[in-house]
Amino acid sequence: MRFADIGQQLRAYRLESGLRAEEIAARLGVSRAALYRYEKGEVIKLDTIRRLAELLKISPLSLLGIGVEYFSRPVAFQERLRQVEEAADQILMVGGAICYQTTTDAFDGALAEAWTEAADAAPDRAAARAATDQMLGLLTARKKLHQARRPTIIGILGEGALTRLLREGVAPGLQVPERTRQRCLAAARTEAEAIANMMESVPIGLQLGLAASGTEPAGCFIVLRGRERANVVASPFSADTPPQGGLGVSSITAADEAVVAHQRVAEAAWRDALKGAAAAARVRDLIKAAG
């Protein structure tokens, strides 16, 4: 058994459960420190895995990394995605308006402001702020990881998704003050302009294309390839989905047939996508149309 992998999955499923570490440790009959050691990859007995799975209401196979992993909480999904990205040398992304690893400071700043404003207005302000800080920390960790490892990224963005970003702004749907919403709209425009620039300049290790209207993928997914395994990630949660918002289920699997099928669709999407100057020009047309 790969105990480091089990530990990573244990942490993600703990976040998915909504239980605090001390609650799980108490029910398991161990100290919180022991639980954290399990999450860091300490040897763990099969019986303990079985009992943890019962507490977390998942299959023991999920903790062992066998089968499909499911997450309904955005914060748990972001943690697990960070873990998978940690071993990825190539990221192939299909759909969506952005590639989070390449987003600008304007995007991150607007996102932090919107989430914080929404948390401050929540009935349980303390819990909402804690969840917001945790989610922002995970996003920061993902970006720092990318800057350190520099995996190759190929992204096919969706024209419809980019249009919605420009019309609704970063973190759409949140009830925030008008000044914050305007900052989110401005950040969306800044992001789209940065995307157009990257499409034209094609930085080393990054290729971005645009799936035009009519050819946009029906759903978003990512294929992440590492030295030892590949994973397919499918999720309704975007990077700006708030920590306690969004209704949906994300899935992650290393099943060969899933990887092959998604890789095939991604290659077809890349073949048909606008690229380079043509893609950049189309993105700038979308910016002008959004006003």
Alpha carbon distance, N-terminus to C-terminus of the chain: 55
Q: Are strands 206-211 and 152-158 parallel, antiparallel or unpaired?
A: parallel
Least-confidence region, from 53-57, 112-116, 284-288: 53-57
Tokens 């910016």 locate to 287
Beta-carbon count within 10 A of 227 CB: 7
Q: What's the sign of the alpha-carbon dihedral 211, 214, 220, 224? A: negative
Report how far Cα 123 is from the mean position of its chain's Cα atoms.
Answer: 27
**How many CB atoms are located within 10 Å of the residue 182 CB?**
13
115: Cβ–Cβ under 8 A, 6 or more apart, which residues? 132, 135, 136, 171, 174, 242, 243
**For the chain, how big is the Rg over CA atoms in Å?**
20
pTM: 0.85
Q: What is the pLDDT, as a whole number, of residue 291?
A: 82
Q: Stretch 204-223: mean pLDDT, rounded?
A: 90
pLDDT at 162 > cutoff 80: yes
Q: What is the mean pLDDT of residues 248-265?
A: 94
| Domain ranges (residues) in the chain | 1-66, 68-290
Q: What is the Cα–Cα distance from 202 to 208, expressed in whole angstroms?
A: 8
User: Can you give the pLDDT at residue 62?
Assistant: 83
In the numeric block, which tokens belong to residue 24?
């799980």
Which residue in 110, 291, 91 sits closest to 191, CA to CA? 110
Say if residue 101's pLDDT is above 80.
Answer: yes
Q: Which of 42-56, 135-149, 268-282 has the lowest mean pLDDT?
A: 42-56
Residues 6+ apart with CB under 8 A from 246: 74, 236, 237
User: What is the pLDDT of the chain when averaged over all its residues?
Assistant: 93
Q: Return the higher-pLDDT residue of 153 and 215.
A: 153
Q: Which residues contact 204 (CB under 8 A, 6 or more apart)?
A: none
CA distance linking residue 262 with residue 256, whole number of Å: 10
DSSP letters, 24-72, are HHHHHTS-HHHHHHHHTT----HHHHHHHHHHHTS-HHHHTT-SEEEE-
Q: Is the pLDDT of residue 244 over 90?
A: no
| Predicted local distance difference test score (pLDDT) of residue 30 | 92
- State the fold for domain 68-290: Endonuclease; Chain A (3.30.870)
**pLDDT interval class at 246 (50, 70, 90):** confident
> Any idea which architecture 1-66 has in CATH?
Orthogonal Bundle (1.10)
pLDDT for 205 beyond 90: yes
The pLDDT value given to residue 253: 94
CA–CA distance, 133 with 46 (Å, rounded to integer):
34
From CA 235, how far away is CA 251, in angstroms rounded?
A: 6
Look up residue 2 and give its two tokens: 């790969």
What is the distance between the alpha carbons of residues 162 and 284, in angstroms, rounded to a whole number?
Answer: 11
